[in-house]
C-alpha cells in the first residue's frame, strides 16, 4: 500500500477546510441529495462527499456506507486531492498503490473508485465527490463529465456555507462563522490535549477616522488591518471580524506568551503599514489575551468574554 503524498499547500488547504466549519456537523439534505443522485446515475453502491482532514477523511454525506470517517493514510481521496483532474482506479486489486489497502482487502472491499476534487473558494482542494463499487469498472468520457457536473454542485453548496460565515469586507470569518468554528477548534484542542489562546482586538479611535475621512477610508482601514492579521499570525490560526472595529484570533497549540509575542509583531506591522502612508491618521489597537482553561471556560463564548474584558481594560489604560 502507498499512502498519498502531502499536498504542497497543506497548511493553506487545512485552513480552508477549517473555514468551512462543516467537519463533524450533522447530515444536510443539500449534500445528501447529490450523493443519492450520484448513486442512482452511476449504479454504484457507495457515493460520498469526503473531506480530507489532517489525519482522517470525514464524510459530510454518505450513501451506502456506515462509518463516518476512515484514517487518511488509507484514503483513496487523499490521492485524489493531489490533482485538479478526475481520479479513477478501475480495479484496485491491480493497482500497486491500493492492492493491499485495508479498504480493499476488507470492508467496503473497494474495487472501483472514481472522484472529482472539491475546491473551496480560495481554490484549495478540500475533499472529493467520490464513487465506490465492489466490482471493477470504468467511466467513459460522458460519465466523467457527469461526475464533474455533480462535483460542481457540491462545490456551490460548500461555497454557500463558506460565504454565510465570511465577512464580506475583509474576507475573514464573521461572528457566526467564528462561533461555529471556534467551538469546534476548542473541542479539537481538548481531544488532542494542546493549548489554545484567544486574542481580542479593537481598533482605537476608529469612529473619528470614519467621521473625518469617510466610510470608504474606514473600510480600507478594516481591510488592511485584517491583512496584517493574516501576515502576522499563522495560517492555522482562526481570524474573524466580529463587527465594527472588533477582531478576534484563536491560536491553536499556542500559550499566552506566544500570543503576546505575535501581538507585538502585529503592532509593529500595523504601525509600519499606516504611519508611513501619509494618510493623516494613525492606526493603533487595544487587545486582550486569554488562554483556554476548561475549568473556567465552558466554551468559546466564555473565552471571548474574558478576552473582551481584558481588551477593555487595555483600552482604558491607553486612554
Do 10-164 and 175-318 come out as alike in CATH topology?
no
Q: What is the mean pLDDT of the chain?
A: 93
Question: Contact, 314 vs 285, CB < 8 A?
Answer: no
pLDDT > 80? residue 278: no
Q: For residue 232, which of 196, 271, 175 has the smallest C-alpha distance?
A: 271
Name which CATH class applies to 10-164. alpha beta
Confidence of residue 277 (pLDDT cuts 50, 70, 90): low
Q: Any idea what DSSP says for residue 17?
A: H
* Per-domain boundaries in the chain: 10-164, 175-318
Q: What is the SS3 assignment for 167?
A: coil
Q: What is the SS3 assignment for 54?
A: coil
User: What's the mean pLDDT in 186-203?
Assistant: 89
Q: For residue 89, which of 117, 113, 116 has the smallest C-alpha distance?
A: 113
The whole-angstrom separation of Cα 39 and Cα 90 is: 17
**Taking the alpha carbons of 194, 179, 173, 200 in that order, is the dihedral positive or negative?**
negative
pLDDT > 90? residue 144: yes
Which residues, in sequence order, are bridge partners of residue 115? 87, 130
Q: pLDDT tens-digit profile of 44-68? A: 999 999 999 999 999 999 999 999 9
Name which CATH class applies to 175-318. alpha beta
Which span out of 79-93, 166-180, 203-217 was modeled with the highest average pLDDT? 79-93
Q: For residue 284, which of 301, 266, 262, 302 has the smallest C-alpha distance?
A: 266
Q: Say what the pTM is.
A: 0.72
pLDDT > 70? residue 23: yes
Amino acid at each position: 500500500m502507498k499512502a498519498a503524498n502531502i499536498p504542497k499547500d497543506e497548511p493553506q488547504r487545512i485552513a480552508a477546510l477549517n473555514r468551512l466549519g462543516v467537519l463533524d456537523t450533522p447530515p444536510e439534505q443539500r449534500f445528501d441529495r447529490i450523493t443519492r443522485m450520484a448513486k442512482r446515475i452511476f449504479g454504484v453502491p457507495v457515493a460520498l462527499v469526503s473531506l480530507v482532514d489532517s489525519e482522517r477523511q470525514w464524510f459530510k454525506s454518505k450513501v451506502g456506507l456506515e462509518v463516518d470517517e476512515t484514517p487518511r493514510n488509507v484514503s483513496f481521496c487523499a490521492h485524489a486531492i493531489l490533482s485538479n483532474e478526475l481520479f479513477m482506479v478501475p480495479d484496485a486489486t491491480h493497482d500497486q498503490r491500493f492492492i493491499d489497502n485495508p479498504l480493499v482487502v476488507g470492508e467496503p472491499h473497494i474495487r472501483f473508485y472514481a472522484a472529482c476534487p472539491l475546491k473551496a473558494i480560495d481554490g484549495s482542494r478540500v475533499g472529493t465527490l467520490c464513487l465506490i463499487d465492489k466490482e471493477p469498472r470504468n467511466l467513459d468520457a460522458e460519465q466523467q463529465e457527469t461526475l464533474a457536473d455533480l462535483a460542481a454542485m457540491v462545490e456551490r453548496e460548500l461555497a454557500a456555507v463558506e460565504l454565510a460565515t465570511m465577512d464580506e469586507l475583509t474576507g475573514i470569518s464573521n461572528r457566526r462563522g467564528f462561533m461555529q468554528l471556534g467551538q469546534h477548534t476548542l473541542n479539537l484542542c481538548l481531544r488532542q490535549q494542546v493549548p489554545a489562546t484567544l486574542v481580542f482586538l479593537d481598533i482605537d479611535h476608529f469612529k473619528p477616522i470614519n467621521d473625518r475621512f469617510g466610510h470608504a477610508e474606514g473600510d480600507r482601514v478594516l481591510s488592511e488591518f485584517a491583512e496584517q492579521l493574516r501576515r502576522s499570525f499563522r495560517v492555522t490560526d482562526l481570524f474573524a471580524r466580529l463587527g465594527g472595529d472588533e477582531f478576534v484570533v484563536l491560536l491553536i497549540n499556542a500559550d499566552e506568551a506566544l500570543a503576546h509575542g505575535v501581538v507585538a509583531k502585529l503592532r509593529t506591522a500595523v504601525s509600519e503599514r499606516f504611519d508611513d502612508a501619509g494618510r493623516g491618521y494613525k492606526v493603533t489597537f487595544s487587545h486582550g489575551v486569554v488562554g483556554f482553561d476548561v475549568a473556567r471556560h465552558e466554551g468559546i463564548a466564555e473565552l471571548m468574554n474574558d478576552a473582551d474584558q481584558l481588551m477593555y481594560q487595555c483600552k482604558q489604560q491607553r486612554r
